[in-house]
Amino acid sequence: MDGRNFRVHSDEVTKATYEALERRGVTKQDIADIVLEMQRPYNEGLTIEHCVESVESVLKKRELQHAILVGVEMDELAEQGKLSRPLQQIVGSDEGLFGVDEMIGLGAVLTYGSIAVTTFGHLDKNKIGIIRKLDTKIGGQVHTFLDDLIASIAACASSRIAHRTRDLEEQGKTFEDLKPSETAPENDIDGATT
Ligand code: MG
């Protein structure tokens, strides 16, 4: 079929995104653990369930989905030795000056605002949780793009929570007053990115 005239349904893209993360051994829980570590100091009553909900919300966004699909595909092709020279060597060895992996991760956080950008920078530098594990290259696996993608998802989910906290404060509430299913605000920063 002519790719120019064929529009892939959003459901298919969402499904492919979840499958890509699963193939690479990353769970929503892994990412939510990072979000909890980032946001717990600032959010009374924040639980892992709230963080999982935030990760799920972020994973519905096309900006993130497209970044994940591109990045994971690059890692997988590099792992299979299917990129051309010299890109194969650059991606396969996670060349320090490459930077395209960071830029894809950074680009995907921009719609979640400044907290997402600064959290992404922090995670990129300090490699919290599963990001640290992915950065430790074991058994010929390539995670050149994946570590930045996970940092990106976690940064966006953290930013959502930070903005939600302010809304709650203004209503005299904290996360303690919310069930995880109630964490999606009506008009938050999240709404502008679909
Ligand atoms: Mg990287």
Residues 86-104, mean pLDDT to the nearest whole number: 96
Q: Domain 27-193 in CATH: superfamily?
A: PgpA-like (1.10.3760.10)
Q: Ligand 1 mean position to 91 CA, how many Å? A: 9
Distance CA 40, CA 49 (A): 12
Q: Ligand 1 mean position to 151 CA, how many Å? A: 10
Residues 27-47, mean pLDDT to the nearest whole number: 95
- Cβ burial 61-92 (10 Å sphere, 16+ → b, else e): bebbbebbbebbebbbbbbeeebeeeeeebbb
Distance CA 140, CA 185 (A): 42
Q: Ligand 1 mean position to 67 CA, how many Å? A: 13
Percent of the chain exceeding pLDDT 70 equals: 90
Distance CA 26, CA 23 (A): 8
Q: Ligand 1 mean position to 78 CA, how many Å? A: 13
- Residue 181 confidence class, pLDDT cut points 50, 70, 90: low
Q: Ligand 1 mean position to 127 CA, how many Å? A: 10
Q: Please give the structure tokens belonging to residue 104.
A: 């894809």
Q: Ligand 1 mean position to 170 CA, how many Å? A: 38
Q: Is 80 exceeded by the pLDDT of residue 134? A: yes
pTM: 0.91
Please provide the average confidence, as pLDDT, over all residues in the chain.
Answer: 90
Percent of the chain exceeding pLDDT 90 equals: 78
The residue ranking higher by pLDDT, 16 or 140, is 16
pLDDT of residue 130: 95
